[in-house]
Amino acid sequence: MRIVNLIGVGPGSPEMMTTQAIKAIKESEVLMGAARALKTAKDAVPELDIEICEAVKTDDMVAYIKGHPEKKVISCVFTGDTSVYSGAIPLKKALEQNMGPDGGDDSEDEDRAENFEIRNYAGVSSIQYFLSKRSVSMANVKLVSLHGRYKDMIPLIRENKYVCALLGSEDTVSKISEELAQFGFGSVKIIVGERLSYPDECFTVGKPRDMKGKMFDRLAIALFENDNAETPVRSYGIGDEHFERAEAVPITKRDVRALSLCRLAIKEDSIIYDIGAGSGSMSIEAGLACPEGKVIAVEMNQEAIDTIERNRYQFKVDNIRIIRGKAPECFEEFEMQKPGERKNVADEGVLPIPDRVFIGGSKGNLQKIIDWAVRVNPDVVIVINTVTLESVAEVLEVERRLTDYNFEMVEIQSTGLERRGSYHMHRAENPITITRISRR
């Protein structure tokens, strides 16, 4: 049985490597990994005299391992620890996919099947090292990786006292600092660690105004400390009076909004489309409910778009991307992400695949929007608010066609009380039909 060692070499200094990792490398026939990890391993074992293979991508590593059956012990080295945002994780998964059903060699595809013994050697992660230097417990920290991916940081910093991020480029901290200043988080403390564990390691401390325009090492780590962090109560129904309004721009009223959001069943990382976003009340509450997700607000009216922008800043919600146009035609000018890319949702470029869609206004395209949503994601959950009987009839027409989906419909009418002189009178809103569409 061939052995593949997955080895964490620590943050960079060879002195941080474990004796187990060094022993495993000495007993290997091949040492494989990215240049930085290879250098750490070779510095720790200077007398090493085995084949060195520089490889970064998982596919390249798998191709080498499968293409050299004569190599019985291969050590793949990774910076940091193999369990913390490490390339060891996808490599292990890829190797297991090339095994038989139970780790054996009885797969139907004989070319793919091979039995490996995968051994994992933990290392000291750069995050552990960095936080220990700052005397911050990892248990109190929200961890984020920005290596090759986009992440909305404002929701995370808004809700967590400590957010620790593996940076992805030289200007990442500068960009985040600009957003922090724009959304009113100028008091957040930022600590950036560079060249960790090396003799020239460096820590830079400042506020967003100090960090704007500064460049840091691409592999640096940043800690964002927000003493005013607040974890919101996950409930719905912000009062209508708290939203910025424009006279001609509609808003989904509080009670209807709360029930509609409940039926959407939003998760922390949901991708939500709010079609016919109006004043943005649904987008704002959905954005607050999914701090690690994204809301795509679709709206034609420029005055409405301006209102959504004002509400974004008022509620400090930056994980909302606004698309101007009429759905679903406006989506045709964008490329849709592949399902595996949904966690990497940027503010421009390709559009993410929705797992939740709210339709508050369709401009006569209700059936087209529903058909688009179930086409791009058959498991999507759709919630529709309709006011007219004609719109309800359209929904029923779709129900007759989409036999693989459940349609749950409820009509509600909220009635409030308002003071008129010394009396309180009932004030009724228009009845609304809420429809939830989900796969059977």
Nearest residue to 371 (alpha-carbon basis) of 380, 434, 300: 380
Is-contact 406 400, C-beta < 8 A?
no
Which pLDDT value is given to residue 112? 52
Q: Is the pLDDT of residue 102 over 70?
A: no
pLDDT confidence band for 148 (50 / 70 / 90): confident
pLDDT at residue 297 in the model: 97
**Residue 50 DSSP one-character state:** S
If we measure between CA atoms, which residue out of 149, 200, 205 comes closest to residue 12? 200
Question: Coil, strand, or helix at residue 125?
Answer: coil
The CATH number of the domain covering residues in 240-439? 3.40.50.150
Cα torsion through 387, 392, 394, 396, rounded to 10: 160
| Whether 300 contacts 282, CB under 8 Å | no
408 Cβ contact list (under 8 Å, min separation 6): 263, 435, 436, 438
Rounded distance between C-alpha atoms, residue 433 and residue 409, angstroms? 7
In angstroms, the CA 179 to CA 156 distance is 13
Amino acid in the structure at residue 282: M
Cβ atoms 411, 433 nearer than 8 A = yes
CA angle 197, 203, 208 (to 5 degrees): 145
Residue found under tokens 């007993």: 27
The predicted structure's pLDDT at residue 115:
82
How big is the chain, counted in residues?
Answer: 440
CA distance 198 to 381: 50
The CATH code belonging to domain 2-124 is 3.40.1010.10
What percent of the chain is modeled with pLDDT above 70? 97
Q: What is the pLDDT of residue 164?
A: 97
Strand partners, 4: 74, 118
pLDDT value, residue 339: 76
Q: What is the pLDDT of residues 42-70, one digit of tens each?
A: 999 999 999 999 999 999 999 999 999 99
Radius of gyration of the chain (CA): 27
Query: May I ask the CATH class of domain 127-225?
Result: alpha beta
Residue ranges per structural domain of the chain? 2-124, 127-225, 240-439
The pLDDT tens digits for 174-215 are 999 999 999 999 999 999 999 999 999 999 999 999 999 999
